[in-house]
Amino acid sequence: MTRERIYLFDTTLRDGAQTAGVDFTLADKMAVATMLDRLGVDYVEGGYPGANPTDTAFFSENRTTRATFVAFGMTKRAGRSVENDAGLQGVLQAKAAACCFVGKSWDFHVVHALGITLEENIEQIRETVAAAIAAGREAMIDCEHFFDGYKANPDYALACAKAAYDAGARWVVLCDTNGGTTPDEVTAIVAKAKAVVPGANLGIHAHDDMGLAVANSLAAVDAGARQIQGTLNGLGERCGNANLATLIPSLKLKPDYAERFEIGVSDEGLATLTQLSRAFDELLNRPSNRHAPYVGANAFATKAGIHASAILKDPRTYEHVAPESVGNHRRLLVSDQGGKSNLVSELARIGVEVDKTDPRLDRLLAEVKRREAEGYAYEGADASFALLANRALGRVPDFFTIESFRVMVERRHNALGELVTMSEAVVKLTVDGETLITAAEGNGPINALDVALRKDLGRYQPYIADLRLTDYKVRILNGGTEAVTRVLIESTDGGGVVWTTVGVSPNIIDASFEALVDSLTYKLLKAGAPAP
């Protein structure tokens, strides 16, 4: 069976750069172009040469190997020749094999924003396409506001699309610039455009202002569009553009699409998608969306016990695709909601082997439930969960015993009359029958406690030398300062392993101390420290 080709056009580096708070450097742009090229998209739009020094530098050479590198720009301005339009010339001289020009297709914008006649706008589209072809470039026109324009004046919107096509544009891209169009409208309007742009020459550019960018892209494909424009992780102005990290797996894995269409991303490329999506967020220095379709950390996470036991029997019962196909993996969460199946499979995952019929499992499950009712949350605190489980199985030695601790925070004027705050902690503990007292200062009470606690652990000190705190999170579980506090602490060591521990108490210092002690104990257990 012959499948039709769908072309993927990535605009992360152009429309995605309109995102509030996103500001790509030249090095960022090169890194992202390489990621996209390896993934297998067909077009990488790199920016707007001439608009700013970064984009101009980026287009000083071709930046892709497999994909077609695309320069973005505006159609020719009114009242100038192609030769005398500096903006247009900047785009045509960029080292890119293709050029994508935004052209207006909503009569209201032509008259009010550009201040030219409707026919003049069409003439500009024609001349711009012709100039790009003459310069040896693959030419594309982005019809800005195509759907809103069609609703206001269908004949004019279609005339703009037809003019681009007739002038020789390889692609005529229909843009839902404001993101306010529904899938039904997309279906109907793309079908109309297909009548004037026959063949595989229509593209779709959707925005997510109604949470419909992915659905609108698929609706356009069903109606005849063969190019999809989108961005990595749905980056883009306002609510973002169509998310390619969602569309690619759907096009490849859903029979409804995979049987009819093919794309340039291979199965091997698809299997790198989760890693690529997270690497892109790392580059943007932002946390990844844990709930993102296909690639989110929770995309294949199950909490309900009854679902978990079904998944263990046959994953297809509660998974619409195999997590491995997109490089993701299944997670069964231990929680109040979960049952014994979740517990056993989670224990296996963290390396705690135990027979399913072991009576200590029931006690452990009851203990987990009791603690979760108190405010503990083990789904995000693997290390505390491992300790709890190993303790229930009698596998955690009492490496040390905390006798007492004391923290003091004082704010006062120093000798120079400056207001300073001092935090000091004292910890008293017993190791091997020996009492050790340590004291430390810190920039806050938790920091002081952490430093004091790790200062002298007697014979165990070498095992914790490389321990280091990397994150600290606090959640108050009920309103008011008298509520219960839950603290999550993330730690790491020289080996790059990261673990998380939890503490709960009405007193934030107590809760933090509990999580600190769990982290130490976990590290000792992990490092194979001998029992006293």
How far is residue 287 from each of residues 214, 280, 307, measured CA to CA in Å?
22, 10, 28
Q: 83 vs 412, which CB is nearer to a copy of itself?
A: 412
Beta bridge partners of 204: 174, 228
What's the rounded Cα separation, in Å, for the pair 201 and 130?
Answer: 17
Least Å from the CB of residue 344 to a copy of itself: 18
Least Å from the CB of residue 443 to a copy of itself: 5
Residue ranges in 315-466 assigned as alpha helix (H): 340-349, 360-374, 382-392, 445-453
* Candidate list 2, 155, 267, 404; residue touching a copy of itself; CB under 8 A: 404
Residue 21 interacting with a copy of itself (CB under 8 A): yes
What's the rounded Cα separation, in Å, for the pair 476 and 150?
Answer: 52
Residue 215 interacting with a copy of itself (CB under 8 A): yes
Residue 11 interacting with a copy of itself (CB under 8 A): no
Residue 343 interacting with a copy of itself (CB under 8 A): no
Q: How many residues does the chain have?
A: 532
Residue 190 interacting with a copy of itself (CB under 8 A): no
CA atoms within 13 A on the CB side of 304: 5
Which of 112, 106, 77, 73 has the alpha carbon at shortest distance from 177? 106
Site string for a copy of itself, 91-120 (x = CB under 8 A): -----------------xx--xx-------
Residue 413 interacting with a copy of itself (CB under 8 A): yes
Residue 464 interacting with a copy of itself (CB under 8 A): no
What's the rounded Cα separation, in Å, for the pair 32 and 419?
Answer: 47
Residue 522 interacting with a copy of itself (CB under 8 A): no
Contacting residues for 295 by C-beta, under 8 A, at least 6 apart: 245, 273, 274, 277, 278, 288, 326, 327, 328
What's the rounded Cα separation, in Å, for the pair 33 and 36?
Answer: 5
Residue 288 interacting with a copy of itself (CB under 8 A): no
Q: 417, 410 in Cβ contact below 8 A?
A: no
Site string for a copy of itself, 375-394 (x = CB under 8 A): --x-xx--------------
Distance in angstroms between the alpha carbons of the first and the last residue of the chain: 70
Residue 285 interacting with a copy of itself (CB under 8 A): yes
What's the rounded Cα separation, in Å, for the pair 101 and 120?
Answer: 16
- Looking at 135-143, 330-338, 391-399, 458-466, which segment touches a copy of itself (CB under 8 A)? 330-338
Least Å from the CB of residue 508 to a copy of itself: 5
Residue 258 interacting with a copy of itself (CB under 8 A): no
What's the rounded Cα separation, in Å, for the pair 108 and 148?
Answer: 10
* Candidate list 72, 399, 405, 460; residue touching a copy of itself; CB under 8 A: 405
Residues of span 37-56 touching a copy of itself by CB under 8 A? 51-54
Residue 475 interacting with a copy of itself (CB under 8 A): yes
Residue 472 interacting with a copy of itself (CB under 8 A): yes
Residue 60 interacting with a copy of itself (CB under 8 A): no
How far is residue 155 from each of residues 75, 106, 504, measured CA to CA in Å?
20, 10, 66
Residue 460 interacting with a copy of itself (CB under 8 A): no
- Looking at 133-141, 260-268, 293-301, 352-360, which segment touches a copy of itself (CB under 8 A)? 293-301
- Looking at 20-28, 119-127, 167-175, 195-203, which segment touches a copy of itself (CB under 8 A)? 20-28
Residue 210 interacting with a copy of itself (CB under 8 A): yes
Residue 498 interacting with a copy of itself (CB under 8 A): no
Determine the distance from the C-alpha atom of residue 502 to the mean position of all C-alpha atoms in its chain, rounded to a whole number. 25
How far is residue 511 from each of residues 28, 377, 441, 472, measured CA to CA in Å?
41, 13, 19, 12
Kind plus residue range of the DSSP H or E element containing 104: strand 98-104
* Candidate list 77, 194, 260, 303; residue touching a copy of itself; CB under 8 A: 303
- Looking at 127-135, 262-270, 366-374, 452-460, which segment touches a copy of itself (CB under 8 A)? 366-374
Least Å from the CB of residue 197 to a copy of itself: 23
Residues of span 263-282 touching a copy of itself by CB under 8 A? none
Least Å from the CB of residue 22 to a copy of itself: 9
Site string for a copy of itself, 137-176 (x = CB under 8 A): ----------------------------------------
DSSP SS3 for 314: coil
How open is the CA angle 115-120-124, to the nearest 5 degrees?
Answer: 105
- Looking at 92-100, 166-174, 373-381, 457-465, which segment touches a copy of itself (CB under 8 A)? 373-381
Contacting residues for 311 by C-beta, under 8 A, at least 6 apart: 302, 317, 318, 319, 330, 332
Report how many residues bind a copy of itself under the rule CB under 8 A.
Answer: 125
